[in-house]
Amino acid sequence: MKLLENRILKDGRVAGKDILRVDTFINHQVDPELMQKCAKDFASHFKGKGITKVVTIESSGISPAVFTALEMGLQLVILKKQPSKVLNDDLYQTMITSFTKGTNYELTLSKEVISENDHVLIIDDFLANGEAVTGAVRLLRMAHATVAGVGVLIEKAFQPGCDKIMDAGFEVYALARIGDMSKDEIKFI
């Protein structure tokens, strides 16, 4: 998506060999018009695939995901991060290890908002090592729900997340695919 690529070139900042900062338009400050346009692209791409719910991971994916859910006329489910295991029979939970941040957390999903009849579109801001998305897939599998595909704003194609998810049999649709940024310069695929 040219609009997002151009915005990344204008306002994104490469910070170290594999960190891209998009704090002024996606993560810390959010440009709602840009998010709405990205959402329209996701909704149009995944149209007609029998999707029943949009799912995202707390919290940077919420803005693009809530606009996508609105466009598709669906509810959004936000998978919640907890610092430690919660004792609750009404929850599915799975441990996520973030290599980027060097932290662990429990991702949780309440049985109340998912069912085995759900066919889910996962939306997130970044796809890098894929820990969060593969955790989301594990949670949805516990609920016997199925995954229709994964939509991300930015894929860092030089990291293994996308391959991992495609190897598991899911479609990944990324609006901007970065092939290389090792020389402080962002190159899209």
Residues in contact with its own copies by CB under 8 A are 23-24, 27-33, 35-36, 58-59, 62-63, 66-67, 69-70, 74-78, 80, 83, 110, 112-113
**59 versus 182: smaller Cβ distance to its own copies:** 59
Instruction: Tell me whether the omega of the peptide bond preceding residue 115 falls within 30 degrees of 0, making it cis.
Output: no
* Burial of 31 (C-beta count, 10 Å sphere; 0-12/13-18/19+): middle
Smallest gap from Cβ 113 to its own copies, in A, equals: 4
The residue behind tokens 């996606």 is 26
Give the shortest CB-3-to-its own copies separation in angstroms: 16
Q: From the CB of 144, what's the least distance to its own copies, in Å? A: 18
Q: Which is nearer to its own copies, 69 or 121 (CB)?
A: 69
**Residue closer to its own copies (CB basis): 56 or 164:** 56
Residue 59 main-chain phi, psi, to 5 deg = -130, -15
Least distance from its own copies to the Cβ atom of residue 187, Å:
25
β-strand pairing of 187-188 with 172-180: antiparallel
Which residue number, 1 or 70, has a Cβ lying nearer to its own copies?
70
Contact (Cβ atoms closer than 8 angstroms) between residue 136 and residue 107: yes
- Rounded Cα distance between 35 and 25, Å, is 9
